[in-house]
Amino acid sequence: MLQLIENASGYHKRLAIKSDNKDYTYRQLLDASAKHALTLLNGRSDLNEARIAFIANPGFDYVAIQWGIWRAGGIAVPLCIKHPYASIKYVVEDTTAEAVFYTEEYKDLISPLFSDFTIRAVSLEAIPTQNGNLPVIDSDRRAMILYTSGTTGQPKGVVTTHQNIEAQIKSLVTSWEWNQDDHILNILPLHHVHGIVNILSCALWSGACCEFLPKFDPEEIFKIFLKKEINLFMAVPTIYYKLIAYWNELPEEIKIQTSDILRDFRLMVSGSAALPVSTLEKWQEISGHTLLERYGMTEMGMAISNPYQGERRPGFIGQPLAGVKIRLVDENQEAVPDGTPGEIQIKGPNVFKEYWGRSKATEEAFIDGWFQSGDIAIWKNGSYRILGRNSVDIIKSGGYKISALEIEEVLRKHPAIKDCGVVGIPDEEWGEIIAASIVLNDQNQELPDLQNWLKDKLPNYKIPRKYLAQEDLPRNVMGKVTKKDLQKLFREL
């Protein structure tokens, strides 16, 4: 039996899921997932790694379907509920899924699949009661395919085994001291490792409760906080920014009450994108918590984290998680000295098995057994600091390697700037020049004279040459700025 399922068998009466104003125990989750598994098997003894795509709102049904796919021996392929049909079709076609498991609210969205492909439709509304035995699933089997954001071409399917997922969970449960009395609010997309592994799977592994809010709503989030049931919270920087904006508008007595409750939380985490220091400091004022920043990717789950116990330094991502090996190397794959930028490379049982159907891309992703992240960092004073992604956040201009994240952090300190994104755009003379997209607090205001303002804050070669004012930055569903889109905007100017 899979360890995650085996753990749940020891928590029968405990509360596992809160969603849609209902409470569900581990017993109910095990029963529902077994029913879904038997439906998928439909008389077969084992799905033998058949790909099963599924789409459901975050909540009990999502988890029961996911577990049902795993317990039947299938590979779970979660579909993003915010994606258009073309993106869903791409994933189903790329994985050659044999079935799509769906809830009624997504019937119209996915119905074209059944004319475009020969594929089995499994509706949650029409699940019969079946009897039978479930297969024994080895941990080295493929378990899940999650798709990358596709910033360097078509999205690739990242294949993880049950063993990979268990390693990712164990490292976080150990490092962040998860326990069965924890109660976490999950507001993140469930086609992404942050929501699936860091929150949902860690909670259920530990016998804790995972509560769902299907749609981001600051008012609802604060209402849930005020119930004093939640003691962990994880989100992306954009969400913290929006929660801060909402908190600023609250009456003073509610602000005080909310802050008092937030101070009693056990842990608050930020990830999936660089956390602006200004956001960290403001949330610290509100909650009393220094947000724990960590580093990970779809291909490896989490690999580096600030300590649960100990100092968390703004701008730093901490140390390797339990069971994970990290090295920093230069272009020649040589280890770099402390304080020198290098590419993060990772080795460990948490690292994915392969890119689905892309043997060449899989081979190119590794060197001597180390996964090449493409992210650049330095090791300084006992902690890693991210400088950016090699392809979009490290700007090569006039012989310098410049961190876009560093420039963004300085720009955000300007009183007129709400947010910004910095990229490099091709230039015949300099290789690349620095360009900054600016989101102003007041959309009716003209761009301030940032060139002069930056002169005593950055060396000249780090000051942007081009500026663009936007109402908002282009982002993916996780709130991460899509820098390729920004670069395209500047090239079209």
Q: What is the pLDDT of residues 375-402, one digit of tens each?
A: 999 999 999 998 877 777 888 887 677 8
Task: Outline which parts of the chain fall under CATH 3.40.50.980.
Answer: 3-137
Instruction: Give per-residue pLDDT as tens, 258-294.
Output: 999 999 999 999 988 778 888 899 999 999 999 999 9
Is the predicted pLDDT of residue 153 greater than 70, yes or no? no
Report the alpha-carbon distance of residue 317 to residue 306 in Å, rounded.
5
Is the predicted pLDDT of residue 152 greater than 50, yes or no? no
Does 3.30.300.30 match the CATH number of domain 394-492? yes
Crossing angle between the packed helical segments 26-41 and 60-71, to the nearest 10 degrees: 50
Is the predicted pLDDT of residue 230 greater than 60, yes or no? yes
Cα dist from 456 to 334, 398, 438, 453, 459, whole Å: 35, 20, 20, 7, 8
Is the predicted pLDDT of residue 1 greater than 70, yes or no? no
Record the pTM: 0.85
Crossing angle between the packed helical segments 252-262 and 277-287, to the nearest 10 degrees: 100
Is the predicted pLDDT of residue 474 greater than 70, yes or no? yes
Task: Outline which parts of the chain fall under CATH 3.30.300.30.
Answer: 394-492
Of 35-39, 189-193, 335-339, 386-390, give the lowest mean pLDDT range. Answer: 386-390
Domain covering 3-137: architecture: 3-Layer(aba) Sandwich (3.40)
Query: Which of 279, 265, 206, 277 is closest to 234 using CA atoms?
Result: 265
Instruction: Give per-residue pLDDT as tens, 403-428.
Output: 888 899 899 999 999 999 999 998 87
Query: Which of 230, 313, 322, 305 is closest to 269 using CA atoms?
Result: 305
| DSSP secondary structure, 375-419, as one string | EEEEEETTEEEEEEETTTTEEEETTEEEEHHHHHHHHTTSTTEEE
Report the alpha-carbon distance of residue 258 to residue 425 in Å, rounded.
44
Across residues 199-217, what is the average pLDDT?
Answer: 95
Cα dist from 17 to 13, 34, 169, 185, 219, whole Å: 12, 17, 18, 10, 21
Query: Which of 450, 316, 394, 190 is closest to 307 using CA atoms?
Result: 316
Q: For position 260, what pLDDT does the model report?
A: 96
Top-confidence range, 147-156, 257-266, 402-411, 451-460: 257-266
Report the alpha-carbon distance of residue 431 to residue 212 in Å, rounded.
47
% of the chain at pLDDT higher than 90: 80
- Pairing relationship of beta strands 183-186 and 209-212 according to DSSP bridges: parallel
Residues 88, 91, 94, 100, CA torsion sign: negative
Query: Which of 360, 277, 272 is closest to 314 using CA atoms?
Result: 277
- Cβ atoms of residues 286 and 244 within 8 Å: yes
% of the chain at pLDDT higher than 70: 98
Report the alpha-carbon distance of residue 212 to residue 166 in Å, rounded.
22
Query: Which of 165, 182, 146, 159 is closest to 2 using CA atoms?
Result: 165
Q: For position 151, what pLDDT does the model report?
A: 46
